Structure formats: structure tokens, C-alpha cells
Structure 1
Amino acid sequence: MKKKKNLLIKILPLVFCVFLFTGCTSDFCSKTDKANIKKHLLEQYETSWRQEAIDAGKTTDEEIQKYVDSELNKEYKSFNKKCIVISDYESESGVTYEKKTWGDAWKEGIMEGLLVYPISALMILFINWFGSTGVAKFFALVMVTLVIKLLVLAITWKSTKQTQKLQDIQPELMEINEAYSKATSQAEKQKYALKMQALYSQYNINPLSMLLTPFITMPIFIAIWGAVQNITILQEGSFLGLSFGAKLSTQVFDGNLFGIILFIIMILGQVLSMKLSGWLANRKAKKQHKPVRKQNMNGTMIFMLILVLWTGFFLPAAMAIYWTLGSVFSVLQTLVMYYLNSNKKGGKKYEKVYK
């Protein structure tokens, strides 16, 4: 079982990368949206393109039109096409986007229909509810993060409990690992495996069940990424000078103060959310006069931390805000569950809920 668990843990980062770079590639732009974008570009640039064509020596109408079409295609490819709207909407740039339905989303793909569109619709509803300003968009991100995290917690409730239990028995695990750290014979290794299995059975822990949470959260993360980068209204406006639709990296390099602060908070929040459970487990072990586990970050943890920070740095700022808020939620969740498990009265209620 331990080998299977280690294998799955090693595979998870790879699965994350596959989801990240292959999922949610649709921009949700309909034929009408594309036509409206091209119409908008022609209204802006056609006169100058025609003059450029004449200056370049184009004399016939056919040559001039060919030049205009070529420039239009170039400009269209570089245009920021973000077309998720839940009602007909005219952007600040003057482009009109056609209403998208849930049925339209399913035509784009399974992920788009199952997760991206519902998340997008929820976010747009919150934005409209709060007033469509930069502050409204920030609070919409807060509300969407809260709703999603609570839903995920409800789905992975048992898995989360298993993770908490595993943290609680770290002193016992450490004793077994130290006792059999120099095991070389097959008999000793088998005895070690039996000891581990007995400990897991004693506390009713299934290590594999704890892997449910990553498999739930990864597709949701990718769906939020797809929503954030394609919601039309989220590409407009800013919060404390931070543009939601632009990459966080671009704004940090431009010297945006809030962008820099956000990235620092994202780093601290991610490290704290990854290490807090271990720190609390050691605190509990000290109170019970049990061995304390060294808080060293293993290879997988370091890789995931680098992956998270690198990804967050180069994604839209709205995604970095979501990630930071998610880390804060994880920290609060860990503290609450630790309190429930440590408090004698709360601990009994806690066990009663799960059994």
C-alpha cells in the first residue's frame, strides 16, 4: 500500500501539469463574437491600413483590400478574445459579445460545460451584484473562492479527516520508521509493513483515501483558470492598480506595488498552508511528550511549491488572487480542524460526526 501511495504522489504533479496545459483551451467566442471583433477592428484601423497600402505602392482595389485583410487577420490573432458572458454585453472597447448558455458551453467541451461555465456564471452574478467595479470584482473572487472551497470541503470531508488523523499519529509513525530504519532482511521489512498496517488500522486510516482531495481540486483549479481568463467583464477594470486579466508577472515587473505585495502574500500563504499541519502535529506531540518530527520539506513538497508559485506568477492576476485566498482558507480550515480534534469536548463531537 505504501508503494502505491508513493507512486500516486509522484504522479500527481504530472497529472497537474497535463490538466494545466491541455484543459480549458476554448475562448467561448461564437461566430457572431468573431464577426463583431473584426468589425470593431475595421472601424478602428481600416482607414490607416488603406493609407499604408497606398503608401506601399498598392494601386488597385484588389491589392489594397488584400493588404487590409492581411492586417485584419494579424490584428485579430493578437486581439484579447475573451467571450464568456451570460447576457449580451458591450465591452469597454466597444465590442458586443453574444450571450452564452450552458448548452453552448457543453459544445465547447466536457470541462467547459461541467465546471468552467457554472463557475463563470457564478462569478459574473457576484460581479453584477456587487456593482461591476474593481472592488466588486475582487469581492466576487472572494465569494467564488469561499463557495468553491466549502463545496470541495463537503465532498472531501472524510478524506480531510483522514489527513488530519495522519498528522496526529506522526509521532507513532516516526517511532516505527526509526525502529526499522536499518531493516535489510525481508523478514524485518515485512514486520515493518505489518506494524504500519496495524497502526493505520488502529486509527482507521486509509492512506489512499487522502488522494481524493488533489484529484477533486485539480480539475476545479483548471476550470477556474479557464473561467478567469475568458470572462469578458473580468478583463476590464482593476483593483488597487492591479489589472485582473493581465499576468501577475507583467505587473510585478512593471513595479505594481499591489502586484508585488500579492505575490509575497501568495508565497507566504502557500508555505504556511503546506507546513501548518506538521507544526501543529509537533505542538501536540510536545504536549504529549512524544517524539517531534523534523519539519524538512521533501522533494515532492518543494516541487509542488515551486510549481504553484511559478504557475501563479505567470497566470492572470485574478488567478493569483484566487490562489492566495485559497491558501488563507486552507490555513483557517487546518486551524479549525486542529482545534476540534484537540479540544476534548469538540474532539468527541468531531469523532461522532465522522464515524
Structure 2
Amino acid sequence: MKSILKSKKKLLLVVMLMMITLTGCSVPRDRSGKTYVKSIITLKEETVEKKIVSTDYNEEVKKEYKDLKDTDLITLKPTSFGDMMDEGWFEGLIVFPIAQLINLVAGFTDGGIGIIAATLLIQLLIFLFSIKSQVASQRMQTLQPELNRIQAKYAGKNDERSKLMMAQETQALYSKYKINPFGTIVITFIQFPVILGMYQATMRAYSVVTGKFAGISLVNTPIQGFNAGHYAAMVIFVLMVLFQLISFKLPQWLQEHRKKKNHVKEKKYAEPKNAPKGMMGSMNMMMYMSTGMIAILAINWPLGMSFYWLVNSIARVIQNIIIHKFFIKD
């Protein structure tokens, strides 16, 4: 089990480093937070005031728009799939459809509703493709007492035979509950490119660049919104962090509720003295680390991204409740 947890920790660290690296290497905005005019993704021909976009992309773009006043309109041509594929497969296959979905829905409402609709659709698809992994993740909570029993049985035994017996009993336990201990990692790999794609889409979709939600610009960061006196921006940020934490903790809470409901009395080995250093402690540590990392990154992300993450976390909370109610047997 320790080796499994170490592998998961390494994976989480790698994913976080990749997220920071990739998002840092392909930010379609200048230092002031304005999106480059040539990076905006549109569903149809649109216009945008020069003052809300950045023309400081390269010398050619600067020259093209240098004579325009801040209030002058710049015409944007519809963005095609071919245009995005010219930038790269990631932009064409992931960023483009997400951004255009946001634009499509926002055409009937606003950018915020567009983000909500795109997020819910994406989460539904992820749920359908990764439901087995998510069920396995919650089942891991169920078998934790039995894992603790095995660990307690071989505690302090470092000989090869004991290690082998422990591994065999652990594997037999996974087989009994039909769980692949690495299956939960599938969720991370599915969500990772979507998160990066949404990050790009919330900065490049025309309806987000030019739109607002509840009177708040979706391209400003929570810090910018706070400095401008738009405290609703900080409310969205705080709710995002809160629901992110709830979405992580909910499976544990549901498991505790299930035990109380069924009057399950755990034996001493189910709660060993070194529990905080055990599997549950490691899971909690990863949970708090990932939430903290998201909070640090999100404080300087466009508010549209924080809004996405808030809706995404609420959707995961609902998914956990559905899995608990309909897929996890008491």
C-alpha cells in the first residue's frame, strides 16, 4: 500500500507541475490581463473595442492596429477548426470545441451561463467515461478497515516472505471488492487535458472576453476584481475553494454516514494509532495539497476559470452523492 500511495503522490506532483508548466507556456494574454486579439475564438464575425483586447502580440499586429483609437472597433473573423489545428492538436481538438460551446450558449444568455453549460456537459461526459473509476474510488473507503487489518498483521515484519504475503492478501482484498487500486488515476488523466482546455477557452472565447456575469468581468482575476471593488469576484473564488474541498471530503463523510446507518463498529485495527500517517492521512494530505495548489493558481486565473471550477466542484459533489446512493451497496 505504501508503494501505491507513493506512486499516487508522485503522479499528483507530476500532474501539478505539468499544469503549471503548460498553463505558463501558453497564456493567450499580456501582462495586463487582456487577451491577444489574434487569440480570440469566435463562432461568427464579431467586433470588439480595441481597449479591451491586446494588440501587443508582435510587430506585425502592432502595426496593423496602431492607428486605431481605444474606442474603435476591431472586426474578428469566425474561427475555423482548421485555424485552431494550425496552432496544434490540443488547441484544435480540445480548446476549440469548448470555446465554441461557450460562445454558442452565451449567444442566447451570457458568458457565465455559457461556462456553466460547457462545464455540466463536460462533467457528464467525464462521469459516463469514468464511472467505474469513481465507484472504485468510493469503494476504497469501504475496504479501508480491512486494509488496516492486513497492515496491522504484518506491522514490523520486513522479511521478504512477510512482504509477499502482505501483497498477496492486499491483492486478494482488491479482487474481492473488484477494485483496481490504480483505477482512480484514470479520472486524473481524463480531467487534466480538460482543465487545461477550459483554462484556454475561458480566456479565448469571445463571449467571455467581452462578456460579464452578474456585472463582473469574466476575464479579470479574483485579485483584480477585489481591487476594483467587485467583492462578488472574491465570493466566487472562496466558494470555489470551499466546494473543491467538499468534493474531496464528501466520499469520506458518506462512508462515515453509511457506517453509522448500518451500526458498524470498527475494531481497533481499523483506526491504528498512526492513522494520520497511514493511507487516510496520505489521502487527506494530497487533498489539502491539491486544494491549496488550486487556490494559489486560481487567485491569478481569469474569474471565468474560477467560475468553471466552482461549477465543476458542485457537479462532482452531486456525482458523489449519486454514486453513493445508486452504485455503492451497503
The normalised TM-score by structure 1 is 0.75
Equivalent residue, structure 1, for 2:6: 6
Cα drift, residue 242 of structure 1 = 2.0
Amino acid at match of 2:173: L
Alpha-carbon distance in 2 for matches of 1:118, 1:78: 23
Equivalent residue, structure 1, for 2:18: 18
Alpha-carbon distance in 1 for matches of 2:229, 2:156: 53
Residue 77 and residue 334 in structure 1: after superposition, are their counterparts in 2 closer, same or farther (change >3 A)? closer
Amino acid at match of 1:316: P
Equivalent residue, structure 1, for 2:291: 305
**8 Å contact from structure 1 (residues 145, 322) kept in 2:** yes
Alpha-carbon distance in 1 for matches of 2:87, 2:200: 12
**8 Å contact from structure 1 (residues 272, 331) kept in 2:** yes
Could you give the per-residue CA deviations for residues 281-336 of structure 1, whole angstroms, max 9, x where no partner exists?
12223432235666656432222111111112210000000001111011111111
Higher mean C-alpha deviation, range 9-18 or range 317-326? 9-18
**8 Å contact from structure 1 (residues 241, 258) kept in 2:** no
Aligned residues: 293
Equivalent residue, structure 2, for 1:104: 83
CA RMSD of aligned residues (A): 2.6
**Corresponding residue to 2:323 among 326, 337, 341:** 337
Alpha-carbon distance in 2 for matches of 1:342, 1:10: 29
Could you give the per-residue CA deviations for residues 226-282 of structure 1, whole angstroms, max 9, x where no partner exists?
111112231223223321011122213444221121122112101111111112112
Alpha-carbon distance in 1 for matches of 2:221, 2:245: 22
Higher mean C-alpha deviation, range 291-300 or range 146-155? 291-300
Cα drift, residue 8 of structure 1 = 4.2
**Corresponding residue to 2:106 among 119, 127, 131:** 127
**8 Å contact from structure 2 (residues 33, 220) kept in 1:** no
Amino acid at match of 2:12: L
SS of the residue 1:208 aligns to = coil
SS of the residue 1:119 aligns to = helix
SS of the residue 2:184 aligns to = helix
SS of the residue 1:140 aligns to = helix
Alpha-carbon distance in 1 for matches of 2:134, 2:33: 44
Structure number with the bigger relative contact order (C-alpha 8 A, sep ≥ 6) is: 2
Cα drift, residue 5 of structure 1 = 5.8
**Corresponding residue to 2:45 among 74, 83, 88:** 88
**8 Å contact from structure 2 (residues 139, 328) kept in 1:** no
Equivalent residue, structure 1, for 2:183: 209
Computing the radius of gyration from Cα coordinates, the structure with the larger value is 1
Amino acid at match of 2:302: P
Alpha-carbon distance in 2 for matches of 1:308, 1:266: 10
Cα drift, residue 176 of structure 1 = 2.1
SS of the residue 1:224 aligns to = helix
Write out aligned runs for 1:12-161 (5 A). 12-22=12-22, 25=26, 27=28, 80-81=35-36, 82-93=39-50, 94-130=73-109, 136-161=110-135
- Determine which structure has the larger helix proportion and give its number: 1
The normalised TM-score by structure 2 is 0.80
Are positions 1:323 and 2:316 aligned together? no
**8 Å contact from structure 2 (residues 245, 287) kept in 1:** no
Amino acid at match of 1:290: E
Provide runs of 4+ in structure 1 moved above 4 Å.
75-79, 291-297
Q: Percent identity?
A: 26
Equivalent residue, structure 1, for 2:237: 263
